[in-house]
Amino acid sequence: MEERKLNERESLELITRMIQNTQQNTDVGGSNQFIIWGVTILIVSAIVGTLILLTNNMIFNFGYFLIPIIGYCWSKTLKRKERVVTHMDKMLDITWKVCGIFCLAVPIITSLLSTIFADDLIFKNGGLYAIIPSIEIIIVSLAIAMTGIIINSKSIRVAGFVGLFISFLTFISAPYAIHYTFAIWSIACLIIPGIKLNREIKQLKRC
């Protein structure tokens, strides 16, 4: 392509062609991110749950802080810089960044409040800690549902709403079972939809 003047009709044709080519060359990535974070949550929650079950020591709950560390490092190794970033990619990036910030903020704020207002009835005996898993699941499920809506994937949308349902199970399940509920949630709402999305993308590429 050179720097030549076009007539009006050629200009409109060129604009249409370039926009169509760009749309054909961009696809939705990120399904591996679902699998990476799902496996990280599954492994960490299974280990934390088992350690607490065996030792009855609640200090192992801090092990959950390994999720953002492992997940971030793992996803960084697989993430390659895309040659083209679509508006959809940007929207998804922002959605998950906000989700990540909220997920980190919830346990930190809860810990701070429980330390400062230790004698207050609501915080006594670490009462507020019990609702952390539910809040975390609700936040991530919301991000999953939003992702499903943005990328127009039914399986991801459904996973988000299933996650919302599972979050209520954590309220009624026994304290030890919460960790395993967390693990089941990661399989149902992150790993399986991630694998399904991977397949959908591969099928789309074949067409």
Partner 1 sequence: MLKELNPLLHSELRLAIMSILMSVAEADFTYLKEQTRATSGNLSVQLDKLQKAGYIDIKKEFAGKRPRTSCSVTQQGMVAFEEYVESLKAYIHI
Three-state secondary structure call for residue 175: coil
**Residues touching partner 1, count (CB under 8 A):** 29
Among 182, 30, 185, smallest CA distance to 92 is for 30
Q: Exactly one of 32, 50, 75, 86 binds partner 1 (CB under 8 A); which one?
A: 86
Q: Is 75 an interacting residue with respect to partner 1 (CB under 8 A)? A: no
Of the candidate spans 9-17, 47-55, 168-176, 195-203, the one that interacts with partner 1 by CB under 8 A turns out to be 9-17
Q: Is 8 an interacting residue with respect to partner 1 (CB under 8 A)? A: yes
- Quick one: three-class SS letters along 49-77? HHHHHHHCCHHHHHHHHHHHHHHHHHHHH
The residues in 132-161 that bind partner 1, with binding defined as CB under 8 A, are: none
Distance, in Å, from the CA atom of 151 to the CA atom of 67, rounded to the nearest integer, reads 25
72: its two tokens: 């971030």
Q: Exactly one of 76, 77, 81, 203 binds partner 1 (CB under 8 A); which one?
A: 81
Burial (CB count within 10 angstroms: exposed 0-12, middle 13-18, buried 19+), residue 75: middle
CB of 6 to partner 1, least distance (A): 6
CB of 35 to partner 1, least distance (A): 23
Q: Are 144 and 190 in contact, with CB atoms under 8 Å apart?
A: yes
Among 30, 33, 61, smallest CA distance to 182 is for 61
Q: Is 21 an interacting residue with respect to partner 1 (CB under 8 A)? A: yes
Q: Exactly one of 12, 109, 149, 204 binds partner 1 (CB under 8 A); which one?
A: 12
Distance, in Å, from the CA atom of 174 to the CA atom of 148, rounded to the nearest integer, reads 31
Q: Exactly one of 76, 83, 205, 206 binds partner 1 (CB under 8 A); which one?
A: 83
Nearer to partner 1 among residue 26 and residue 155 (C-beta): 26
Q: Is 3 an interacting residue with respect to partner 1 (CB under 8 A)? A: yes
Q: Is 11 an interacting residue with respect to partner 1 (CB under 8 A)? A: yes
Distance, in Å, from the CA atom of 83 to the CA atom of 95, rounded to the nearest integer, reads 21
Q: Is 84 an interacting residue with respect to partner 1 (CB under 8 A)? A: yes
User: Which residues here bind partner 1, judged by CB under 8 A?
Assistant: 1-6, 8-12, 14-15, 18-19, 21-23, 25-26, 80-81, 83-87, 89-90
